[in-house]
Amino acid sequence: MKFEFQNPTRLVFAAGALSRLGEVASAHGKRALLVTGGGSVKRSGVFDRAVSSLKLAGVSVVECSGIEPNPRISSVIRGAGIARSEKCDVVIALGGGSTMDASKVIAAAVLYEGDPWDMFLHGQENVHVPASALPVITVPTLAATGSEMNCGAVISNEDSKVKSFIKADCLYPRVALVDPELTLTVPADHTAYGVCDIITHVTEGYFNGVEGTPLQDRFAEGVILTAMEWGKKAVADGSDIEARAQVQWASVVALNGWVQIGTDAAYPVHMIEHTLSALHDIAHGAGLAVVNPAWMRFAAKARPARFAQFAQRIFGVPARPGDELGCAIEGIERFEAFLASIGCPLRLSQLGIDAALLQQYAEDTLHIVHDDQGRLPGCPPMGESDIV
């Protein structure tokens, strides 16, 4: 193994931590662009509490609401325009992954004269990786993406129908203020999609990474087992703050880089899902619930020992000497059964997506990954029967 690791985001994690937003933000700016989604934080009263805390600490607030799920580049451009004209010096994201991702790109776009879409890695040659951005503070209201403590963001271009990502050191939030109480109002379906997203963030590295990462394997297994145990409880009873807290902590750890260190892994399942959510505007975690088990069935043929390890360690499937693939498939079936048990879809038809365009989805995905980044070497192509 060989790696360097740094994650500069300060993490403040506690039920009730929202009341500290003003104190935390005032160390980074005096005029905040407060970015929110489609209204959930207003309905829950979280928005008013955030504004009060900021004002008490002497931080003035400029509002940028209406960031949509699968956020659009046009919303980023709108947000950057507001931040520029209002002379904001800090960006605060109050919402789910979509709001956090848009906030990060707004923070970089404010300081960039060109087209913000230049900053995205969708197979283009001359990517402008931003070197500077306004300070960002993330306050997640949904446990899923891990965007609160990483330097990535995913944005859709509504004209080209491409969903692409950006990664830059300057996008690490200065502070992630993580208050599990804010997730109590997330409905059961989005709670389940979040659990699926958390698990998929670590299965990507687990199944695609290099060999010889036993500690990382155990980290990933810990995240999966925790997300499954507490995720089921959070879906069954949304008011269970203990379950909400455990799921939220799992979401932070799953994609703040820690689990992936040294695995050198690709994200094929994410790349395929991004193609689907770009075209069909589905919830990211719901798309992953369809794609991940289907992908696993095919990838297991290329790397049965690793999938058998997953089956044994996560689901207690007995080892089958001479039939690793059989053991692997049983683990995948149990994983699929878990996803169904929390209410995730398992087939494209459940998402209203027609199978007729599968070939086009595959080509679109290869276009965005533009090298072998999205594929497991030796893995057979995705077939139709398991996914439709």
Contacts with ligand NZQ by CB under 6 A lie at: 37-41, 69-70, 95-99, 101, 141-142, 144-147, 150, 152-154, 182-183, 185-186, 190, 194, 197, 255, 270, 284-285
Applying the rule CB under 5 A, the residues between 247 and 276 that interact with Zn ion are none
Indicate the residue among 99 and 260 with the shorter CB distance to ligand NZQ: 99
Q: From CA 181, how far away is CA 16, in angstroms rounded?
A: 7
Sort strands 90-95 and 31-35 into parallel, antiparallel or unpaired.
parallel
- Alpha-helical (H) ranges within the chain are 21-26, 40-43, 46-56, 73-85, 97-109, 188-208, 214-236, 241-254, 268-280, 284-302, 304-315, 324-341, 358-369
180 vs 331 by CB, closer to ligand NZQ: 180
Complex with ligand NZQ: residue 29 or 69, whichever CB lies closer: 69
Q: Which residues pair with 156 in a beta bridge?
A: 72, 163
| Sequence-distant (≥ 6) Cβ neighbours of residue 375 within 8 angstroms | 266, 268, 369
In the region spanning residues 145 to 204, those forming contacts with Zn ion, defined by CB under 5 A, are 197
If binding means CB under 5 A, how many residues of this protein chain bind Zn ion?
A: 1
Dig out the tokens for 177 from the structure.
């203020």
Binding mask 211-250 for Zn ion (x = CB under 5 A): ----------------------------------------
Residue 123 CA to its chain's centroid (Å): 20
Strands 90-95 and 136-140: parallel
* Neighbour order of strands in the sheet with 175-178: 10-13, 175-178, 136-140, 90-95, 31-35, 60-64
Whether the CB-CB separation of 198 and 223 falls below 8 Å is answered with yes
What's the min distance (Å) between Cβ of 150 and ligand NZQ? 5
In whole angstroms, the minimum distance from the beta carbon of 125 to ligand NZQ comes to: 23
Q: How far is the CB of 23 from Zn ion (least distance, A)?
A: 31
38 vs 123, beta carbon nearer ligand NZQ: 38
From the list Zn ion, ligand NZQ, none, which binds 268 (C-beta under 5 to 8 Å, kind-based)? none
- Comparison of 72 and 284: residue with beta carbon closer to Zn ion: 284
Shortest CB 259 distance to ligand NZQ, Å:
13
Enumerate binding residues for Zn ion (CB under 5 A).
197
